Amino acid sequence: MTAQLPQIRSRPPWLGPALAGALTLLAWAAGRAGFSTFSQAGMIAAALIAGTPIALRAWRAVRFRSLSIDGLVTLAAAGAILLGEAWEAAAVTVLYSLGGLLEGASLARTRRALEELMAWMPERAQVLKEGGWEEVPVEAIRPGDRVRIRSGEKVVVDGRVVTGRASVDTSRVTGESIPLDVEPGDSVIAGSLVQVGYLEVEATRVGAESTFQRVLDLILEAQEAKPRVQEVLDRVGRVYTPLVLLLAAASLALTRDLHLSLTLLVVACPGALVMAAPVALMSGLAVAARHGVLLRRASAVESLARLDTLLFDKTGTLTEGRPRVSQVHGFGGWAPQQVLEVAAALEARSEHPLAQAVLAAAGPHPPWEVEALEVLPGRGLQARVRPPGRASGPARPVLVGSPRLMAEAQVAVPPEAQALLAREEEAGRSPVMVAVEGRLIGLLALEDTLRPEAPAALAWLRHLGVGRLAILSGDRPAAVEAVGRALALDEARGGMLPAEKDEAVARLVARGHRVGMVGDGVNDGPALARAEVAFAMGLEGTDLAKGVADVVLARDEITQVPLAIDLARTIRRIIGQNLALAILTAVVLLGAVLSGHGHLGWAMLVHQGSVLAVIANSLRLLVYRPTPPPLGRVNASAPARPAWPDPAPGSAPVPDR
C-alpha cells in the first residue's frame, strides 16, 4: 500500500479581511456598550490581522528601494495605534485589504473560466490512418489529416469538409444564432458542435493555430493588458508616501516632538483618503446588485463612468437569441396556416434547432400522418405525409428545407417566390421552403427577434452621452445590418470572427475611445477582455464571458447597461466629493498644526469627523434610484457619427463580409 502525503492547504485569501472586519464590528459594538478596554484591544487585533500582509508587502517594496501606498497605510495605522486611535487603524487596514481582495478574486475567476473552457474541448478525436479510423490525442493531429465528427460531437480542428453533410452550431465561436448547414467544400472551425449529421474534415489549422485556441490566446493577452487598481495606487504611493514621511521627519527634527510628528503622519494620511472610495464603492456595489447589476471589479466603476463607446454582440444581447417564424408566405392557393401545418408535421419529428420555432408558430392543429421521414443533414427533411382525416388516401411526398434542397430536388420556384426569397434574405431572415409533390407551396422566414427593451436602453445610453453605439457580430451581415437599421445604430458589422472583433476594439482603444463591449459567448471573449469595460449578458451566459466580464447583468436585460453607467457616474461623483473633503481637511489641519494654531487633540477630533463625514456621504448611495429618460426624448435628429475608424497605417483592416 502506497503512503500518501498529506495535502497542504493554503489559507483562503478572504479569511484575514473577513476576520478583521468581524473583529472591528464586535469591537465597535463593545465600545458602544461601555467596554472600552475590550474595544481598544479588538481594534488593535483587527488592525494587526488586516495590516500584517500590507506591512509585509511594504517591507518587500522597501527592500527593492521603493515606497508604495502599502508603506503609507502601514505607517498611518501604526501611528494611529500609538496615538490611541486604534479604530482608525482598523478601518484603514480592513478597507484597504478588501479592495485588493476584490481585485484578486476577479482575476482568479477569469483563470477558472478559461480552464473550464479548455476542458470543454475533447482530448481525443477519430483520425483516418492506413488501417482505418483510429482514436488519437487531439494534439497529435496534423494539417492534412482527415478527422471524423458525428452528431453531438465537437469539431476539434479548423478544416474543410471532404465528406458528409451536417447542421453545425457555431454560436460558441462566431455568435451565429442559426445553425450553419455545411457540405463538401465548406469550411468548419474548431469549437463548433455538429448537431445533426456526419462529417469528415481535412484539417487545415490545428492546435495553437486553430480558431478556438486563438480565441483563448487573445483573451489572455487582452486580460493581462488591463490596468489594475493596485498598480495605480502604487504609482500614487511612490510620490505621496515620501512627501508625507519627509514632512513628519522634518517636524520631528525641528521640534523634537514625537507626538506632533505622529499626529502629522496620521492627519496627512490616509484615514479619510483611504475611505473616500471603498465605502462608496461597497455601497454602490450593494445598490448595483439590488438592481441586477453585478460589478466584478471595484475599479470598473471609474471606467464605466467614462465610457463614450459601446459595442454590442447581436445574438442574445440586442436580440432574444431564439429564432422565431416572422413571415409565412403561401403559393398556389395554399394558405399560410396550411403551409405551417405541413412544415410542422415534419419538424415535430426533427431535432433541428429551428424545429421548435416552426412548431411554436403552427400552434395546436390536427395531427398529420408522416411516413418514411428522412433527415437530410445540412439541407432539411423529406417524408411522405397524409393530411388529417385522410387515413385511407395516398401519402404525398413533402420536402421542408433550404433553397439548396429545392434546387437539388428540381422544385420549380415561381418568380413570385423568387422575389420574396430575395427580399427575406436581404432583410437578414433565414428562409425555409416547403414543397408538396415537387411543387413549391410556401416559404417560412425565421429571424432572431429584438429584445423588447432594446430601444429604451439605447435611448437611455444616448441620453447619458455615449456617443457611439455599434454592433460587432459573427452573425450573417444581412441579419446584423437589419438590427442596426431597426435600432438606428451608428455601425453594424456582421460576419466577424473573434479575432476581428478583438482587432476592431483594439483599434478604437488606440484612438483614445473609452470602449465598453456587451456580449454573452465565447466568440465575444477576446473583445470583452480587450474593452475597458466588459458586460456579460445574463447569468446563463457562458462561464468565459462571465469570467472576463467586469459587469454581469443578472436580470439579462439590456437596460441594465445604461443603469450600470448611470450608477457608476453617481458613485464617481460621491467619491470625488469625499476626496475633496478629505484633502481639504488634511490641508487645513496640517496648516493649523504646523503654524501652532491648532491643538493636537482638536486636530485629531476634526480628522475623525472628516472620516465620519466621508462615510455618511457614501451611504447616500443606498437610496439611489435609476432615472431613465422618457423614450420620446430620444434625439432622433442627432448628427450622424463619423464612419468606423480606418485601420492605422500598417495594420490589417477588419474585412467587410
CATH class, range 122-155+157-209: mainly beta
Q: State mean pLDDT over 259-273.
A: 66
Mean pLDDT of the chain: 77
**Residue 172 predicted with pLDDT over 50:** yes
Are 571 and 286 in contact, with CB atoms under 8 Å apart?
Answer: no
**Residue 631: what pLDDT?**
57
* Domain edges within the chain: 122-155+157-209, 308-513
**Residue 4: what pLDDT?**
42
**Residue 147: what pLDDT?**
93
Q: State mean pLDDT over 259-265.
A: 71
DSSP class of residue 524 equals G
Are 630 and 463 in contact, with CB atoms under 8 Å apart?
Answer: no
> Phi and psi for 203 in degrees, rounded to 5?
-70, 130
**Residue 322: what pLDDT?**
79
Q: What percent of the chain has pLDDT over 90?
A: 12
List, for residues 408-450, the tens digit of each pLDDT value.
889 988 888 889 888 888 877 888 999 998 899 999 998 888 8
Residue 654 or 377, more confident: 377
List, for residues 625-647, the tens digit of each pLDDT value.
888 877 544 443 333 333 344 43
Q: Which three cell numbers stand for residue 383?
A: 417524408
Residue 69 or 384, more confident: 384
**Residue 469: what pLDDT?**
94
List, for residues 510-526, the tens digit of each pLDDT value.
898 999 998 876 667 78
**Residue 227: what pLDDT?**
43
List, for residues 356-395, the tens digit of each pLDDT value.
888 888 887 777 788 888 888 778 889 888 877 666 667 8
**Residue 508: what pLDDT?**
92
**Residue 250: what pLDDT?**
84
Looking at 3-17, 48-62, 590-604, which range is the least confident one? 3-17
Which amino acid type is present at position 100? G
d(CA 514, CA 304): 9
CATH architecture of 308-513: 3-Layer(aba) Sandwich (3.40)
List, for residues 175-191, the tens digit of each pLDDT value.
565 677 888 888 888 87
**Residue 297 predicted with pLDDT over 80:** no
DSSP annotation string for 237-283: HHHHHHHHHHHHHHHHHHH--HHHHHHHHHHHTTHHHHHHTHHHHHH
**Residue 201: what pLDDT?**
92
**Residue 228 predicted with pLDDT over 50:** no
3-state SS assignment for residue 381: strand
Q: Residue 2 — pLDDT band, cuts 50, 70, 90?
A: very low
Q: What percent of the chain has pLDDT over 70?
A: 76
Rg (CA), the chain: 32
**Other C-beta atoms lying within 10 Å of the C-beta of residue 479:** 26
**Residue 251 predicted with pLDDT over 60:** yes
Which residues have a catalytic role annotated? Answer: 313
Highest mean pLDDT (candidates 59-73, 104-118, 562-576, 615-629): 562-576
Are 112 and 182 in contact, with CB atoms under 8 Å apart?
Answer: no
**Residue 651: what pLDDT?**
35
Q: Residue 307 — pLDDT band, cuts 50, 70, 90?
A: very high
Residue 500 CA: distances (Å) to CA of 138, 312, 316, 486, 496: 26, 14, 19, 24, 6
**Residue 178: what pLDDT?**
66
Q: Residue 114 — pLDDT band, cuts 50, 70, 90?
A: low
Q: Residue 315 — pLDDT band, cuts 50, 70, 90?
A: confident
**Residue 657: what pLDDT?**
27
**Residue 638: what pLDDT?**
38
Are 296 and 113 in contact, with CB atoms under 8 Å apart?
Answer: no
Residue 539 CA: distances (Å) to CA of 120, 198, 452: 19, 33, 19
**Residue 8: what pLDDT?**
40
d(CA 187, CA 170): 12
**Residue 470 predicted with pLDDT over 90:** yes
